Structure 1
């Protein structure tokens, strides 16, 4: 492997070197927050900034991140700006709920995401991916792989957590997801300026139709399942949907909380994995030497006389997993974790005053020059088995950390490796033309303009 190949650097904003005025700041945060961060954010353990609307601390040091998310997590709540963006969409879903509501939701969902249950989803993940992959047979021209992965992960989510019983049209769903995140998934300038809640937000007005679409899907899905539960009793699948509906009651979840958690998983639960899969296929297309290695690994594995069951694939395909994890390092699906101190706090010589905006940003942490060698380059070898122990737990945060770590992390990893192994065994994905997708933060890290690719059969 030559040095040019080993140092493929995918597109990303160049860190700023000068100050940012208030209007430019607001405009950049609305358009693409990833373009805001300057050189100190990628070189210093932490950065303390007094912006006109908030005292902001960018936390990059793994020790500081552990302090905020784990050691002193009780002193930190979800940041007000983040809540103003997400709560209109998710209300009291698991991502936005706090206090007792969050505890009840987490407890209600925990049984679904045990290793035993997740392994039980593996066959459905494989079967769903095989069916989805068939649509690439005989494909001519290009396809937007970013949108394709959104549809695939939706199909997997529907088949596993909802036993194939999500109401609505998957194609319309994909379109409305994009619309929702394009509108309500962005920071509104009024939120940055601390305007009162009664002032209408232009972004939310534009997204109301998409949100109403999601709420209708949830209402129809719940009604369908409740009707089955009344007619069939214990014969109904004991999946995520049934478990939540059974948790309704004075000691469990309210009907509104159940609806909020269903919309959280339908809307956001599949989106993060979809983006990570799309970026992985893009990066492998631009680094064919890495793709060759992974194709060889997958082919040798899949061509065995007896292929192990899909729940074993995650551990059996270390190069494939490493490529996916490196894609999540470069393009973290959730690029920002926002917290706010409830009371004044201190870490070493850094003061974290009450009400400050504390940003733990996987986007900057994952590209930080103090913690990674050649951080801008796509190098899956960082995550090969012999190198994994060199990575601090709090310098790599694709699923967050602490009490609010993503409950579906193991589900997502298993899903991703099954999907990649199935797709890459059958097809090769190449970028169409010279387009360089630009990463844009809209809740998740999305490729602006999609990922137009050609797909050719390998066998």
Structure 2
């Protein structure tokens, strides 16, 4: 008899059983696009539909996803709505640039994020996690409620600042989490003018309140660049060989323009850590509602820490902890949609001989949100079950079935960095503290560029009575 408890089913919109009216579509997209999708999006391999006279195909079939994102990637550009939302924030940063500009940026940034280089950041990730843990240690012996979603934003920002900018971002992180939330709330969402495909110069009323915080981020970037340039001019050898210096060197050799460097720095400061922060918060929430999983994680973390293993080894030595994080990435993918548009007519045929035609101009939505909860590809798709990602089960998950970091040439360049960071953060925090839900912990996933908990994630943090470290 299987004595395991029923898995936790975390909150998420139920599939719509009735198609929404045009007015309802607008309201839902403006409020929370995750609430838009109906039962076919979670049960069929693809669906063709129309949004405001635009032909759209929602793609869930892994083979068709591979065709769009890899095999015939040259035929697909960024979708218009995506660019109307993101380009005002990031301009020609890595997430929004296309063509030659994207190729230059990717080539400039890639050396920092090779797996070998990313592993070199493990010590800094550990140090910043331990420093942040002191926030909770300050209430040693007591339980106190903290806003975990904001805390994870602050922590991942501290890690990003230390690893990529050697701690030399010209800003105070005191209000950083609030600034990021304000930026994404005001700027990282669809405006009615976007749905009407209005030119970018037409004012977006919903974003007016976000311009001030965007200007603040731009000022931070420029001051950070200027400070490093002064240091490099005074004594090039004293400047750290980090992400910032690498980009500025690229400007000196003509690889990137100053504007492109600014855009890429803003991309990493404003969004580079945000995806990991959200996934960490959702992981702690799901684990708090799954005591048997938490027990197994605490045992694994304690055993590895007691062995004296270096943090660079933790990702490989903590498969249960990694699986817990990956399952949260499945249920709450930080980037819930990948939007493309076909440049020329295209077609694809599945293994049964059924042909799918995609005509020029059609919007193609690859939806990790629906793909990761799809009934064709996952057992109990709405349940939190980390065992899906145990080493012995990973082979059952297709490469294009699980897309938390995208796929193809535009796959997230920081995937290895993020996975290593997540395991180190979870190991440090869970070795010392218990995170529990409270009566006010009532998160609801909302798409605002990333998948965020609308009501926040207040959780009770208690120091553990047994030390698990060596």
Aligned residue number for residue 328 of structure 1 = 329
1:7-406 superposed matches below 5 A:
7-139=7-139, 140-249=143-252, 251-304=254-307, 307-348=308-349, 349-406=355-412
Distance in 2 (alpha carbons) for counterparts of 1:250 and 1:109: 14
Task: Note the alpha carbon deviations across 1:239-285, whole angstroms, 9 max, x for none.
Answer: 00000000004640000000000000001100000000000000000
Correspondent of 1:410 among 416, 426, 430: 416
Q: Return the offset for 1:147.
A: 0.3
For residue 429 of structure 1, give the secondary structure of its aligned residue in structure 2.
strand
Cα deviation, residue 2, structure 1: 6.2
DSSP 3-state at the match of 1:5: coil
| Cα-Cα RMSD | 1.2
Q: Is the 8 A contact 1:53 1:193 kept in 2?
A: no
Give me the whole-angstrom Cα distance separating, in 1, the residues matched to 2:433 and 2:150: 17
Confirm or deny: 8 A CA contact 1:53 1:194 kept in the other structure.
Answer: no
C-alpha spacing 1:278/1:143, structure 2 compared with 1 (3 Å): same
Q: Which moved more, 1:381-390 or 1:138-147?
A: 138-147
Which has the higher mean CA deviation after the structures are superposed, 121-130 or 49-58? Answer: 49-58
Whether the 8 Å contact between 2:348 and 2:357 is mirrored in structure 1 is: yes
Contact 2:440 2:458 in 1 (8 A): no
Provide the rounded CA distance (Å) in 2 between the counterparts of 1:100 and 1:51. 31
Q: Distance in 2 between matches of 1:267 and 1:3?
A: 45
- The 8 Å contact of residues 441 and 459 in structure 2, kept in 1 or not, is answered as no
SS in structure 1 at match of 2:58 = strand
What is the rounded CA distance, in whole Å, between the counterparts of 1:42 and 1:441 in structure 2?
Answer: 17
Mapped partners of 2:66, 2:56: distance in 1: 18
Given that 1:6 and 1:379 are in contact with CA atoms closer than 8 Å, whether structure 2 keeps it comes out as no
CA change 1:116–1:235 in 2 (3 A) is farther
TM-score for both structures, normalised by structure 2:
0.95
Q: Is 1:427 the counterpart of 2:428 in the alignment?
A: no
Q: SS at 1:350's partner residue?
A: strand
1-side partners of 2:317 and 2:152: how far apart? 23
The TM-score normalised by the length of structure 1 is 0.98
Cα 1:112/1:374, change in 2 over 3 Å: same
Q: Distance in 2 between matches of 1:264 and 1:196?
A: 23
1:110-151 Cα shifts (integer Å, max 9, x gaps)? 111122211111101000100000110143431100000000
In structure 1, distance between residues paired with 2:201 and 2:233 = 41
Per-residue CA deviations over 1:81-126 (Å, capped at 9, x if unaligned) read: 0000000000000000000000000001111112221111110100
- Unaligned 5+ segments in structure 1 are none
Task: State the alpha-carbon separation in 2 of the partners of residues 249 and 239 from structure 1.
Answer: 16
Which deviates further from its counterpart, 134-143 or 332-341?
A: 134-143
User: Shift of residue 383 of structure 1?
Assistant: 0.1
Query: Matches of 1:117 and 1:235 in 2, distance apart?
Result: 20
CA drift at 1:8: 1.3
Q: Which residue of 1 aligns with 2:462?
A: 456
Deviations 1:60-96 (A, max 9, x none): 0000000000000000000010000000000000000
Conserved 8 A contact 1:53-1:192: no
The size of the alignment, in residue pairs, is: 457
- Asked if structure 2 preserves the Cα contact closer than 8 Å seen for 1:41 and 1:47, the reply is yes
Q: Deviations for 1:3-24, whole angstroms, at most 9, x for unmatched residues?
A: 6733211000010011211111
Deviation at 1:203, TM superposition (A): 2.2
Contact 1:400 1:406 in 2 (8 A): yes
Q: 1:166-198: per-residue Cα shift (whole Å, max 9, x none)?
A: 111112221110001001100011111122333
Alignment partners' CA distance in 2, 1:157 and 1:250: 25
181-190 vs 133-142, which deviates more? 133-142
Extract structure 1 runs of 4+ deviating beyond 6 A: 1-4
